[in-house]
Structure 1
Amino acid sequence: MKFLLIFGPQAVGKMTVGQELEKATALKLFHNHMTIELLEPYLGFSPEMWRLSTLFRTEIFKAVAESYQAGLIFTYVWAFNQEEDWNFVKNTCEIFESRGASIYFVELDADVDERLKRNKSPHRLEHKPTKRNVDWSENELKETIKQYRLNSNEGEIKRENYIKINNTNLNAKEVAKIISEKFNL
């Protein structure tokens, strides 16, 4: 069993890279918007929506960790200046590690201008209905830069199986190939 966490700021390419990895490996993709898109039409971006999203994600993690699946790819916007995000990542890893899974961390980073372009891409908008209000989504992207630190500092991630990739000038297939080769997926 393998658990691959792909994290980085919005519109950096986590889902698209995850889709390419899913095609090239036996791992299944569970991107973070799968729970958001399910719950947001009923609850908006409310505390209750986020609570249920975390609950659903946790239960899915437990079910997959106990299954005979090869593993899971999960995408996440990790606010490094928020203790609750550190706890979520720790608890999620513990679910998989308690069942003997190998854990892999992939951090993506890209220039803000590139992320703003990607934020409007037809592929992103197809898979993430809540991003279709592009003005709102773009504003959210810019505002979160002011509030949260969405990439790690040098040496902050202590995991053995960790790679940080600046994918500003790389496509998703290229990034997936780098990850797959690095971790022998």
Structure 2
Amino acid sequence: MPLLLILGPPAVGKMTVGRAIADRSDFRLFHNHHSIEMLLDVFDYGTPPFRTLNSEVRRRVVEEAAASGTDLVFTFVMGMDEQAEADYLERLASPYGDDVAVVELVADLDTRLVRNRTEHRLAEKKSKRDLEWSDNNVRELEAGYRMTSDARSDGPGERLLARWPHLVIDNSDLSADETAEQVLAWLVTHE
């Protein structure tokens, strides 16, 4: 699958697992904070220019990756009940046509709060370095959004994910390397 979407709530390990997959394969990693962090130097998060440019940068990177035949890992936090987010992700993935697979990572809140403070995360995501704010953000998103799929739901997220091969991994007790190995083994069965 040339486009591998790694979805899940904040601090579940999307970027770290994506990096482990890229290190073991031909995939290249484009994690969601690649665009976020560069824009925060100029625009405040969520402002109209930030949203416009964040969307545009991501779209262009995915388009060029698809056009050049690059196998790409992209990470994303998706509100499963949010139609706009499902529509956005569908548009973003469209340059890859049907060559898309989704890995959804899940872990409990306590595990994610520990991971929210890891050296690797803080090195890659300077916007997360205010730990009090970042921990509160993880908690608020957990309380306000459904960021994991539910087989019993027919929400916008579930309808979109049903279009593509979809693997859910609880990586609470797995290292990024172990999770990456599971993902790569699964991808072989979906070639």
- TM-score normalised to the size of structure 2? 0.91
Amino acid at match of 1:159: R
State the partner residue of 1:137.
134
Amino acid at match of 1:42: V
Greater shift, 165-174 or 148-157, is seen at: 148-157
Q: Distance in 2 between matches of 1:87 and 1:58?
A: 13
State the partner residue of 1:102.
99
Structure 1 residue ranges (4+ consecutive) displaced by more than 2 angstroms after TM superposition: none
Instruction: Determine if the alignment matches structure 1 residue 6 to structure 2 residue 6.
Output: yes
State the partner residue of 1:58.
59
Q: How far does the alpha carbon of each residue in 1:1-50 deviate from its partner, in whole angstroms, 9 at most, with x for none?
A: 60000000000000000000000110100000000000012112132212
State the partner residue of 1:158.
162
Aligned residue pair count: 181
Q: How far does the alpha carbon of each residue in 1:93-149 deviate from its partner, in whole angstroms, 9 at most, with x for none?
A: 22210xxx6211000000100000000011100111000001111111111112211
Instruction: Determine if the alignment matches structure 1 residue 37 to structure 2 residue 41.
Output: no
**Preserved contact between residue 58 and residue 92 of structure 2 (Cα < 8 Å):** no
Deviation at 1:158, TM superposition (A): 0.9
Deviation at 1:81, TM superposition (A): 1.7
Is the partner of 2:26 in helix, strand or coil? Answer: coil
Is the partner of 2:149 in helix, strand or coil? Answer: coil
Amino acid at match of 1:133: D
Q: Unpaired runs of 5+ in structure 2?
A: 153-157
Deviation at 1:182, TM superposition (A): 0.6
State the partner residue of 1:124.
121
Q: Spell out the pairing of 1:18-33 with structure 2 (5 A cutoff).
A: 18-33=18-33
Q: Unpaired runs of 5+ in structure 1?
A: none
**Preserved contact between residue 105 and residue 159 of structure 1 (Cα < 8 Å):** no
Deviation at 1:159, TM superposition (A): 3.4
State the partner residue of 1:172.
176
Q: What is the identity percentage for the equivalent residue pairs of Structure 1 and Structure 2?
A: 34
Deviation at 1:51, TM superposition (A): 1.9
Q: Distance in 2 between matches of 1:40 and 1:84?
A: 23
- TM-score normalised to the size of structure 1? 0.93
